[in-house]
């Protein structure tokens, strides 16, 4: 019997249709062909193939833009937004426009082209989040920027064009509508109930337990009640924090464990699916907007969404904003929990 569930954050309805379900072992994802070493711009020794690095972890004290690194962050060669210039906001008749100002960077997670995130040790995964933290802090100093989105596209179906493990970061002068919807909902919930929406979600998930995938001292991983996609997970900190960049080194190590264990469970249970990983953190608070997000530190909590690309998005989704999901989150969590235990 199909079931409709409502997302408690943004109010989106999800259609669960178990009749459409495919067994996990039958999922097949499109793999990117391996890049020939001579064509891989992220390979150690190919530093000249990328723009100069803006951040790197080099334990050997090696020179910038040369070999000896564990992780590099470089500007994207084909940026969606460019850092040079001014916003020049203006009206064009009825419409509003501004220049495409921002920053688009690539986090090259490892010198090794086959070392995907779930196969790295915890220190290696934590390095990726350390780089995200460092870059968000640095970009927050640019007063033109209002928000930084960190995301990872893994596999062709998720939008990746390079198989070498990497994530991306885009700083922009506006807050994305998807994030703004969450911010508005979190504030309304807090003002009405004097409670944190995300804390209440976490308490509910821990109380029932049937959607929880993994938990450590810092984070809970669960399949959301109204998951948009089969086997979607949310990685949420157990303590209140609106800003990812305020995470401590200890926080990032615990986050690394939660993400690594979840991705390893995907790899085992779902035949290494393509996926998108998205970090939702708070926008920068600017003095020119003193009235904006005044309760944000109390009502919003940063979190990570991991979205396996096992089903497509088509006319129904585009026409309604709803999603059709063939797998109930309770079942998905059970499969992933078992894989975590085996791992």
Joined tokens for residue 301: 């909590």
Please say whether the beta carbons of 306 and 239 come within 8 A.
no
Q: What tens digit of pLDDT does each residue of 123-182 get? A: 999 999 999 999 999 999 999 999 999 999 999 888 888 899 999 999 999 999 999 999
φ, ψ for residue 220, nearest 5 deg? -120, 130
**What span, in angstroms and rounded, lies between the C-alpha atoms of 83 and 68?**
28
Least reliable range by pLDDT among 2-11, 88-97, 159-168, 288-297: 288-297
Q: What tens digit of pLDDT does each residue of 74-114 get? A: 999 988 888 888 888 888 888 888 888 899 999 999 999 99
Of 10, 30, 2, nearest in space to 327 by CA = 2
pLDDT exceeds cutoff 60 at 290: no
Domains and CATH numbers, the chain: 3-342 (3.30.428.10)
């Amino acid at each position: 019997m199909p079931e409709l569930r409502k997302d408690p954050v943004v109010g989106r309805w999800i259609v669960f249709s178990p009749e459409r379900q495919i067994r996990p072992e039958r999922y097949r994802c499109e793999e990117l062909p391996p890049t020939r070493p001579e064509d891989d711009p992220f390979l150690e020794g190919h530093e000249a193939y990328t723009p100069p690095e803006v951040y790197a972890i080099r334990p050997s004290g090696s020179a910038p833009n040369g070999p000896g690194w564990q992780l590099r962050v470089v500007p994207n060669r084909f940026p969606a937004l460019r850092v040079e210039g001014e916003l020049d906001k203006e009206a064009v008749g009825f419409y509003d426009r501004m220049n495409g100002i921002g920053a688009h960077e690539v986090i090259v997670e490892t010198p090794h082209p086959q070392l995907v995130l779930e196969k790295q040790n915890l220190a290696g995964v934590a390095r990726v989040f350390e780089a995200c933290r460092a870059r968000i802090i640095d970009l927050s100093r640019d007063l033109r920027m209002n928000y930084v989105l960190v995301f990872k596209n893994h596999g062709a179906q998720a939008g990746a064009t390079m198989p070498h493990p990497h994530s991306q970061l885009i700083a922009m002068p506006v807050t994305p509508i998807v994030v703004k919807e969450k911010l508005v909902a979190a504030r309304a919930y807090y003002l009405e109930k004097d409670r944190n929406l995300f804390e209440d979600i976490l308490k509910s998930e821990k109380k029932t337990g049937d959607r929880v995938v993994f938990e450590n001292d810092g984070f809970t991983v669960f399949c959301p009640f109204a998951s948009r996609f089969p086997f979607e997970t949310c990685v949420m900190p157990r303590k209140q924090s609106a800003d990812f960049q305020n995470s401590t080194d200890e926080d990032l190590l615990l986050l690394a464990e939660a993400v690594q264990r979840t991705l390893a469970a995907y790899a085992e249970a779902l035949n290494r699916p393509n996926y998108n990983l998205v970090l939702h953190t708070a926008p920068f608070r600017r003095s020119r907007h003193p009235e904006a997000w005044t309760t944000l530190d109390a009502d919003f909590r940063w979190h990570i969404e991991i979205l396996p690309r096992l089903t497509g998005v088509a006319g129904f989704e585009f026409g309604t904003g709803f999603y059709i999901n063939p797998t109930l989150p309770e079942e998905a969590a059970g499969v992933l929990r078992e894989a975590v235990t085996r791992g």
